[in-house]
Chain A
Amino acid sequence: KQEVTQIPAALSVPEGENLVLNCSFTDSAIYNLQWFRQDPGKGLTSLLLIQSSQREQTSGRLNASLDKSSGRSTLYIAASQPGDSATYLCAVRGAQKLVFGQGTRLTINP
């Protein structure tokens, strides 16, 4: 059974810093991995999707990497801003479904 773990559970950093969020999964037989952002009390917004054959994807200040063989992904956020404060979730896609991690709650302090 696929299990997804995100470390740390919470992170607080000053504005302007670069930071890395981590995601690990137990079964490397995945189709893709997706990073989402969730604001309090709201739904999820897709940030980046990496296919299993890809190593990384970039969108603006965000860069996501995937190492399928070791079961790891990272989300790199450059030059963090207070508006980046949210919970970040990673999810891996198996044969049919997405399996989610518990998320990392990120706070960017002005």
Chain B
Amino acid sequence: EADIYQTPRYLVIGTGKKITLECSQTMGHDKMYWYQQDPGMELHLIHYSYGVNSTEKGDLSSESTVSRIRTEHFPLTLESARPSHTSQYLCASSLAYTQYFGPGTRLTVL
């Protein structure tokens, strides 16, 4: 069983607010990822990190930013939330090939 956590699980927030989605893993994995998933659609990679102080943008353009100051922690920040940011955000980590996913954060921006 993978130990990867995301908070909050659900968030409803007004337009223009700054939000941070938290992701933590206790497995010591170097690689971590953020995906965005709309209902019934495929996952799109928005950010990834191969280790501390390493962050890269994924395939899907995103207005969010990430940081990797500690191995176990990979938060995602939206400086000014908009309704178009409404989606599910999934965090994952991996040591080799298998990715382990957190439960996700369902974000609604009104």
Contact = CB atoms under 8 A, between A and B. Distances in A.
Interface residues of B, number: 22
A34 B99 contact: yes
A103 B101 contact: no
A89 B43 contact: yes
Given A34-B98, A34-B99, A93-B97, A98 B104 contact: no
Contact of A44 (B41, B58, B90): B90
B44 to A, nearest CB: 8
Contacts of A61: none
A46 B104 contact: no
Interface of A: 4, 31-32, 34, 36, 41-46, 49, 51, 89, 91, 93, 96-98, 100-103, 105
Given A41-B106, A91-B43, 20 more contacts: A32-B97, A34-B99, A36-B101, A41-B104, A42-B103, A43-B6, A43-B101, A43-B102, A43-B104, A44-B43, A44-B99, A46-B98, A46-B100, A51-B97, A89-B43, A97-B45, A98-B99, A100-B43, A102-B41, A105-B40
